[in-house]
A and B are shown apart, each in its own frame.
Chain A
Amino acid sequence: MDLRLMVDSLPQLLLGMLATLELVALSGALGVVLAVPVALARVSPRAWVRAAPLGYIFFLRGTPLLVQIFLVYYGLGQFETVRESVLWPVLREAYWCAIIAFTLNTSAYTAEILRGAIQAVPPGEVEAARALGMSHALTLRRVVLPRAVRMALPAYGNEVILMVKGSALASTITLLDLTGMARTIIAKTYKPLEIFLAAGLLYLLITLVITRLIRRAETHLSTTANPRPKGRP
């Protein structure tokens, strides 16, 4: 074990970790924005609106993330119209291809988590809103979504962790995320054990922090004020 090498490569690995965090944060945020309308369509009273997102979710959950990344990164460039479009400067960047693939992928999972939570909101609470004269949209905004988000939070934390680990696939399209950086260092040093171990520890650190953050958000958004006094387990 070359501990010295692990410490020496830390600055570079931290740079990679930063890239990983950026990928996850950006595509996570975009994914949530995309997931809300998809989830709302899934619970629509109209059958054809409900059916619309089914194919979207089926495809994105049913194919490997790696395949989706390759489809965006290698696939899109085959179309002349794409190459000639104004979006090409963006679409030829590996970074944006990764963001697009991750965003689409996580939006499908998040939409399903959110759909389940929306359906779990007690109907009586919705009726109470309607009985006070609240419109459908207002009820959604003030009662259904706030309640659903609270119920979805634990499952969503899981999705974020899966996303952190899935983001390692960005290294397959030349991105220097944490895994990509580790592979670059290994190519120069031929010390896979030390470097991957260090990278793995950094992934653990990210997961640990995210778990904590989600738990704190759950407590903060809990439906009882201060359910746990400070300083007790």
Chain B
Amino acid sequence: MDTPALEALDIHKSFLGHEVLRGVSVRARDGEVIAILGSSGSGKSTFLRCVNFLEVPESGTVRVGGEEVRVRRKRNGYAFDQKQINRLRARVGFVFQSFNLWPHRSVLDNIVEAPVHVRRIPRPEAVARAESLLEKVGMADRRDLYPNQLSGGQQQRAAIARALAMDPDVILFDEPTSALDPELVGEVLGVIRRLAEEGRTMLIVTHEMGFAREVSDRTVFLHQGRVEEEGESSEVFAGPASDRMRRFLSGHLT
């Protein structure tokens, strides 16, 4: 049996006493695309952020390529190995809803930054790779522009290239099109679709139901911090087993 690319098991998280995640588990095999759905407040973004420790889960296990991240609870916080978490993050790409490009660096420098300073790849090599990534996301002619000079869709495509530049094993997308004008959504979804076709392992939190249905292998539906339904996307979308999922889908697909 091969090790899953990513496992996040029994993740618990609460904010100020409010339980946002009550034991969510997701396993992604190599090359699998998983759509994470749920209404707002269901905990899907928090779950994604717990996977690479932008939020520290209260309990649970995260394994990337078989390497387990250990977090212990202390009296006034958590004990964890920051180096290990940094290493994990370098292998797990994250694409934010609000892009979060660094405005003081050009598009190219945004992409080259982590490969050069975290992976210590020689700059010329990193630049060559960045250029091919920009080609791939259709931004080759924008390499020397600054984020402020780009549209939202272009910024998000640059942010995807920035995540890809680390050659991650898994990419997490946190509502990648929610901050975009409707006419710019398509170009970003197109890029993600191509990544899926390449066989990238991805977890995608999204409100684009048509896209989720078409691109994902499996779907996880969260409700109030728990996995309400999970299964092959083709089956889940065709005939959801739970009432909540059915209502959610009918609300979104019309």
Contacts and interface: CB of A to CB of B under 8 A. Distances in A.
6 contacts: A127-B54, A128-B102, A135-B82, A135-B86, A224-B146, A225-B106
Interface residues of A, number: 23
A142 B146 CA distance: 16
A128 B101 contact: yes
A138 B116 CA distance: 12
Interface stretch (B17-25, B28-36, B92-100, B225-233): B92-100
A131 B163 CA distance: 9
Give the dominant DSSP class at A's interface: helix
Interface string A122-138: 10110111111111101
A26 B102 CA distance: 32
Contacts of A143: 102
A133 B104 contact: no
A132 B162 contact: yes
A165 interface: no
Given A131-B52, A142-B113, A223 B118 contact: no
A127 B117 contact: no
B146 A136 contact: no
B149 interface: yes
Given A128-B102, A131-B89, A136-B82, A223 B148 contact: yes
B41 interface: no
A150 interface: yes
A115 interface: no
A46 B91 CA distance: 29
B100 A223 contact: no
Interface in A64-114: none
Nearest to B83: A135
